[in-house]
Amino acid sequence: MTADASSPAPLGAADTARAVASGGTTARAVLRDTLARLAAAEGLGAATVVLADRAEAEATALDEAFARSGPVGPLHGVPVAIKEEVDVAGCVTTFGGRGNTTPRAEDSALVRRLREAGAVVVARTAMPEFGAWPFTESAATGVTRNPWADDRTPGGSSGGTAALLAAGVVPAAIGGDGGGSIRIPSACCGLFGLKPQRGRVSTAPEPHLWWALGTAGPLARSVEDAALVYDAIRGGEPTDRFTAGPVGSFVEAARREPGRLRVGWSVRPVTKGVRPDPVHVQAVEDTARLLAELGHDVREVDPRYPDPTLAFVPQFFAGIRTEADAVEHYGRLERRTRATYRLGAWVRPGVLEKALAATETVSAKANRVFDDVDVLLTPTIAPRPPRLGQLDGAGPVRAALRSMPMIAYAALWNVAGNPAAAVPAGVGPDGLPTSVQLVGPTDGEEVLLSLSAQLERARPWPLTAPGWPRP
């Protein structure tokens, strides 16, 4: 499936940067096209703020700089959308709710690096309040729709980011992942989404994002796009609580062959009682066969997953309570959020420290699988993309139960800290995209990028949802 011929898919981040750098177009021309696409996609509920005037000024300045001395950086002229949990100077960091009203004075480290690379910040993207759930629905901004089917969720919590990319609206967009929130919406929307190693991308000005669980990064329509953005934003700051190990160029990794790898596959979920949809089981088995045909040593394995509950749950509550404590207007938070805040009152400092210690234990046990394989292949999510309204009338307990199948394969790797990628695997009988997850060893982003790019070449995926972008 591809977009309608009357509405050709827009260029991704890498191709946009190349087009501007070659003089084939300008930052202002690219921006005008992006703004038109944002207007056409308003019904998705994906963009919460469009920064048209500011972006026009930034694009004009970039064109003037280009005329003087060439491209400012590797993302020169590339419009980028930013999730509502990441600080953008002059914008309120809403976390998907109404608790804050004062604009931030400075960019986060991530946004600063994007601008230094030549990117143009054009919009903010929707998320559930504090990113607590894998469904992008909130009292503040309503529901965000999946471009593949407007009665389905794009997943979450980076659902607004995913919807804009899947609709071909922006070349690049930033999300975050504290329990699968890059990979889950990527799976629902047919995108490539790499959660990087813990500490790979700075969380500054905050010392952490949901303690050891969270990280930020791009969702993308191609592996090359994701690699290009990561090379621009990765790296730590002195205030970061967590740091990652050394790695090489992600762009170079995406361009080289992975070599012969030991790939273990499993459809067993980490969360007991969850059953993967047969469509996702088939996607894993088909991908395993394809990898074997590509020359890899592929075999079914038992990952011997540890139980991450004692590490994940306290940090989930502590993350929400930390962010809720920092908002300006606690009383404006959603009822469900305030109930979740109260339920987490037991996570006192001593409990949190034990959870952080448990994180190290879980990580060591989870990484045992990499004694025998180089990459682990699993489903990304257990169910097909659910219908909208998953959070309607749901308190925190019901919301958590509905969320469990969505995070059943993803959340463990937030606890362990390993890089993990959602890779498009085709289209199911229901007309919605399928996805598989590739998990790498600690600091193993390069092998995931190389292998994902090989799969992308062997089994190309749709660049946008059918019928998008709309004229």
* Tens of pLDDT, residues 218-230: 999 999 999 999 9
pLDDT class for 471, splitting at 50, 70, 90?
confident
Query: Which residue out of 108, 181, 186, 452 is catalytically annotated?
Result: 181
Q: Is 157 a catalytic residue?
A: yes
Strands, E assignment, 344-419? 375-379
Q: What H or E segment, with its residue span, contains residue 53?
A: helix 52-69
How many residues are listed for the chain in this entry? 471
pLDDT class for 165, splitting at 50, 70, 90?
very high
**What is the reported pLDDT for 459?**
98
pTM of the model: 0.97
235, 348 in Cβ contact below 8 A?
Answer: no
**What is the reported pLDDT for 297?**
98
**What is the reported pLDDT for 4?**
37
Query: Between 5 and 260, whose confidence is greater?
Result: 260
Provide φ and ψ at 34, rounded to 5°. -65, -40
Q: Could you tell me which residues come within 8 angstroms of residue 191 by beta carbon, excluding any fewer than 6 positions away?
A: 162, 165, 166, 185, 219, 220, 221, 422, 424
**What is the reported pLDDT for 470?**
85
Which residue ranges form the domains of the chain, and what is each CATH number? Answer: 13-458 (3.90.1300.10)
pLDDT at 5 over 90: no
Overall average pLDDT of the 42-58 stretch: 98
Chain mean pLDDT for the chain: 96
Each residue of 268-327: pLDDT tens digit? 999 999 999 999 999 999 999 999 999 999 999 999 999 999 999 999 999 999 999 999
Token representation of residue 171: 């070349």
Given phi > 0 = left and psi -120 to 50 = alpha, else beta, which region is 431? left
Percent of the chain with pLDDT over 70: 98
Overall average pLDDT of the 68-72 stretch: 96
Query: Which residue out of 108, 157, 222, 452 is catalytically annotated?
Result: 157
Q: Is 83 a catalytic residue?
A: yes
**What is the reported pLDDT for 8?**
60
**What is the reported pLDDT for 135?**
98
pLDDT at 379 over 70: yes
pLDDT class for 3, splitting at 50, 70, 90?
very low
**What is the reported pLDDT for 2?**
32
**What is the reported pLDDT for 190?**
98
Query: Which residue out of 83, 363, 450, 452 is catalytically annotated?
Result: 83
**What is the reported pLDDT for 455?**
98
Per-residue burial over 313-339, b if 16 or more Cβ lie within 10 Å, else e, is ebbbbbbbbbbbeebeeeebbbebbee
Overall average pLDDT of the 130-138 stretch: 97
Q: Is 181 a catalytic residue?
A: yes
Each residue of 192-206: pLDDT tens digit? 999 999 999 999 999
